[in-house]
């Protein structure tokens, strides 16, 4: 990077301008990534936090996908699954969004009904006694021992634990019997729960289990797409992020296209003097990567700073290595790809133009 | 012979036909001597330099640079040959705008896989030889036209070439500075033992050349005395 590093110093205005663009795009991507992860957590943490590996949904009609809203399973379903070889546990979960109230406080909550004795139930759960997530307790202004009305049911607050939320509402854990008393599950008839949480071993034949129980089984990650709001929201945000990555690669590619064209006379001279093409490509790519690393590094730092400022408040923002470092790495990789495609024109520069070329 | 062109013919596509740029050109330039090539524009002088610099492959004939036949060399091998054995003094200085005078020389060593710090002394010696020891930290825009041309010459000598190809070095300089640059090239040719080919329009400073060859319509006329 002999010439490239000196070009960076010499043309610092141009590179600073381009670096600023990289910083701003990285900042935007970083903030969007943190927000995407934060919103996703509010949408899905109750599902991803389940101590199970699969969820069995009621099989949807042909041509439709499974969804939490439309899924409704009966006791026969989970007893069927419990008897399958390779299934360690099959626990019903009822999920419904309800209004909860305590005194003057009201809040929309997601009621998760589970058997109190099940492995997936939080400690303290019992008939008539609910376990509230911290956010639900905060919004309702209650602590352990208080009373809260969930839908039409009066429940004692057995404990406040965890930060699980589902579809942007905090989770309240109730016993399955209480949950069933609130109303029927989903749109189906005779539903006693929404899904069955399965803990399986490697030998479990899920397809056969689905056929026998009339269900469709999804891993926890796959099951997230069954949350309607998550699918729409996450899809939109990921699309925006993808466009930002593509725009950054295009902008960087355009910059290095112009830069390489401006340098073509210098490149011709270096080639005429004996510079090998790989030497020149390495030099130019090194320059691009250096600018990208500096720009994305600063952008990621700024995004982290902004994330620290807003993350603790009402804004759903996740600040962790995947939301900061992964977008930065993708920015560098795609930017380098854009630059590489641009600087490949170095190979086409004819050293003969250096003889008699005017400067 | 350090540079030999043996019945070299070079043609270019020109519309439906072909234009002969070099017509069975033969030239021998021993080490420590200078051959001056004079002739009108379009006579083939630049084509001769391009062939000698391995930038163009002739249709027929042979080019030997420091004993190496260039005809069968790959592009990478030709680049290496230019880097290690050939120095080119361009018509215009063609200095890289971001590099200082010293760095214009350092980059030659860097291309050859050597660290600039290993060649600092040589760069300094060459800049001193062209009278620019005190301008080592200047960038091209901080130098005069004559100074830029002298850096151009020093750069061409950085990797201690066997062959020095000089293309109209005085065309952008006034008479006095042009004379100084030609004197410098002659002196360096003698001192460093390069086989120098000087392409020029200027016949006023050819008395120092060991052979003066006329180029007309692609044909090179070498005087019998040479």
- What pLDDT tens digit does each residue of chain B (226 aa) get? 589 999 999 998 888 888 899 999 999 999 999 999 998 888 899 899 999 999 999 999 999 998 899 988 999 999 999 999 999 999 888 999 999 999 999 999 899 888 877 888 889 988 988 889 999 999 999 999 889 989 999 999 898 899 999 998 877 777 777 787 788 888 889 988 999 999 987 777 688 889 999 999 999 998 765 4
Number of domains in chain B: 1
Q: What proportion of chain A, given as a percentage, has pLDDT over 70?
A: 96
Which of A6, A276, A357 comes nearest B94 by C-beta? A357
B13 touches chain A (CB under 8 A): no
What secondary structure does DSSP assign to A262-282, as a single string?
HTHHHHHHHHHTT--HHHHHH
Closest chain B residue by Cα to residue A275: B111
Give contacts of A266 with chain B, Cβ < 8 Å: 96-97
Whether residue B164 lies inside any domain: the answer is: yes
**B54 — contact with chain A (CB < 8 Å)?**
no
How far is residue A19 CA from its own chain's centroid?
Answer: 27
Q: How close, in Å, is residue B76 to chain A by CA atoms?
A: 6
Q: Which domain holds residue B49?
A: 3-221
Q: Under a CB-based contact definition with an 8 Å cutoff, are residues A30 and A323 in contact?
A: yes
Please state whether beta strands A54-58 and A195-200 pair in parallel, antiparallel, or not at all (unpaired): antiparallel
Asked if A355's CB is within 8 angstroms of B49's CB, the reply is: yes
Residues 177-216 of B with CB under 8 A from A: none
Task: Mark yes or no for CB contact A3/B55 under 8 Å.
Answer: no
Is B226 within a domain?
Answer: no
- Give the CATH number, domain containing residue B65: 3.40.50.300
Interchain proximity A272–B82, CB inside 8 Å: yes
Shortest Cα–Cα distance, B16 to chain A (Å): 23
Q: Label residue B175 exposed, middle or buried (CB < 10 Å: 0-12, 13-18, 19+).
A: exposed
Instruction: Determine the Cα–Cα distance for residues A151 and A181; give it in Å rounded to an integer.
Output: 10
Is the Cβ–Cβ distance between B108 and B158 less than 8 Å? yes
- Identify the weakest region by mean pLDDT among A37-51, A216-230, B203-217: B203-217
Confidence of residue A187 (pLDDT cuts 50, 70, 90): very low
Mutate to test the interface with A, among B97, B119, B164, B169 (most CBs of A within 10 A): B97
Rounded CA-CA distance B226/A176 in Å is 109
The SS3 of residue A231 is helix
Interface ipTM:
0.90
B222–chain A Cβ distance below 8 A for any pair? no
B80 touches chain A (CB under 8 A): yes
**Which residues in chain A are closer than 8 Å to B86, comparing Cβ atoms?**
274
> Which pLDDT value is given to residue B179?
81
| pLDDT recorded at residue A357 | 39
Residues in chain A within 8 Å Cβ distance of B93: 359
DSSP category for residue B142: G
Q: Does A13 touch chain B (CB under 8 A)?
A: no
Is pLDDT of A48 > 90?
A: yes
Q: What is the DSSP string of A154-166?
A: EEEEEEE----EE
Please name the residue of chain A whose CA is at the shortest distance from the CA of residue B100: A6
Does residue B193 belong to any structural domain of this protein?
A: yes
**Mean pLDDT for the stretch of residues A84-89:** 92
Of A250, A294, A312, A300, give the one whose Cα is nearest residue A29: A300
pLDDT in tens, B184-201: 888 889 988 999 999 987
In which region does residue B196 sit, left (phi positive, over 0), alpha (psi from -120 to 50) or beta (all else)? beta
Q: What long-range pairs does B121-125 form, CB within 8 A, spacing at least 24?
A: B122/B158, B123/B154, B123/B158
Q: Report chain A's C-alpha Rg in angstroms.
A: 28
Q: Reduced to 3 states, what is the DSSP secondary structure of residue B188?
A: helix
Q: How far apart are CA A264 and CA A258, in angstroms?
A: 10
Q: How far is B200 from chain A (nearest CA, A)?
A: 12
Report chain B's terminal Cα–Cα distance, integer Å: 13
- B97 close to A (CB below 8 A): yes
Question: What pLDDT does A191 receive?
Answer: 58
pLDDT range class, residue A185, cuts 50, 70, 90: very low
- Residue B132 has phi, psi (to 5 degrees) of -125, 30
Radius of gyration for chain B, computed over Cα atoms and rounded to the nearest angstrom: 17
Does pLDDT of A17 surpass 50? Answer: yes
Tell me: the pLDDT tens digits for A269-297? Answer: 999 999 999 999 999 999 999 999 999 99
Q: Which of B182, B209, B224, B217 is nearest to B37 (CA)?
A: B209
Mean per-residue pLDDT of chain A: 90
Identify the band that residue A359 occupies on the pLDDT scale cut at 50, 70 and 90. Answer: very low
């Amino acid at each position: 990077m002999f010439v490239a590093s000196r070009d960076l110093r010499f043309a610092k205005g141009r590179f600073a301008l381009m670096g600023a663009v990289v910083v701003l795009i990285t900042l935007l991507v970083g903030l969007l990534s943190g927000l995407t992860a934060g919103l996703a957590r509010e949408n899905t943490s109750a599902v991803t936090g389940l101590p199970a590996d699969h969820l069995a949904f009621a099989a949807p009609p042909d041509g439709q996908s499974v969804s939490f809203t439309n899924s409704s399973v009966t006791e026969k379903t989970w007893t069927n699954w419990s008897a399958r070889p390779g299934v360690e546990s099959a626990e019903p979960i009822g999920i419904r969004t309800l209004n909860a109230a305590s005194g003057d406080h009201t809040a929309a909550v997601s009621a998760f009904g589970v058997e109190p004795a099940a492995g997936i139930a939080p400690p303290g759960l019992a008939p008539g006694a609910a376990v509230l997530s911290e956010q639900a307790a905060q919004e309702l202004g209650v602590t352990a021992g208080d009373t809260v009305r969930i839908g039409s049911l009066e429940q004692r607050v057995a404990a406040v634990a965890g930060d699980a939320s589902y579809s942007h509402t905090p989770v309240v854990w109730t016993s399955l019997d209480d949950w069933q008393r609130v109303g029927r599950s989903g749109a189906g008839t005779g539903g006693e729960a929404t899904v069955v949480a399965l803990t399986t071993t490697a030998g479990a034949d899920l397809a056969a289990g689905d056929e026998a129980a009339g269900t469709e089984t999804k891993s926890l990650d796959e099951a997230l797409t069954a949350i309607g709001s998550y699918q729409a929201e996450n899809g939109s945000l990921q699309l925006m992020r993808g466009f930002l990555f593509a725009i950054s690669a295009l902008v960087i590619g355009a910059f290095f296209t112009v830069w390489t064209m401006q340098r073509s006379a210098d490149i011709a001279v270096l080639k005429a003097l004996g510079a090998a093409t790989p030497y020149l490509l390495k030099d130019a790519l090194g320059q691009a990567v250096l600018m990208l690393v500096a720009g994305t590094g600063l952008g990621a730092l700024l995004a982290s700073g902004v994330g620290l400022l807003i993350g603790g408040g009402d804004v759903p923002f996740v600040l962790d290595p995947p939301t900061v470092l992964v977008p930065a790495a993708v920015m560098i990789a795609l930017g380098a790809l854009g630059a590489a495609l641009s600087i490949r024109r170095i190979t086409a520069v004819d050293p003969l133009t250096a003889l008699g070329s005017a400067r | 012979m350090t540079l030999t062109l043996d019945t070299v013919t070079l043609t270019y596509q020109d519309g439906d036909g072909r234009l002969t740029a070099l017509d069975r050109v033969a030239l021998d330039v021993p080490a420590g001597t200078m051959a001056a090539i004079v002739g009108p524009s379009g006579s083939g002088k630049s084509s001769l330099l391009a062939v000698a610099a391995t930038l163009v492959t002739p249709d027929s004939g042979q080019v030997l640079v420091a004993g190496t036949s260039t005809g069968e060399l790959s592009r990478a091998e030709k680049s290496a040959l230019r880097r290690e054995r050939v120095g080119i003094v361009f018509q215009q200085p063609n200095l890289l705008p971001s590099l200082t005078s010293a760095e214009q020389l350092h980059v030659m060593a860097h291309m050859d896989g050597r660290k600039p710090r290993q060649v600092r002394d040589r760069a300094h010696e060459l800049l001193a030889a062209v009278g620019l020891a005190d301008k080592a930290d200047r960038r091209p825009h901080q130098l005069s036209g004559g100074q830029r041309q002298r850096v151009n010459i020093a750069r061409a000598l950085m990797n201690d070439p066997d062959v020095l190809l000089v293309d109209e070095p005085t065309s952008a300089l006034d008479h006095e500075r042009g004379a100084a640059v030609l004197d410098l090239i002659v002196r360096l040719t003698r001192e460093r033992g390069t086989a120098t080919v000087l392409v020029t329009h200027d016949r006023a400073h050819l008395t120092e050349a060991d052979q003066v060859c006329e180029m007309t319509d692609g044909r090179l006329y070498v005087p019998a005395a040479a």
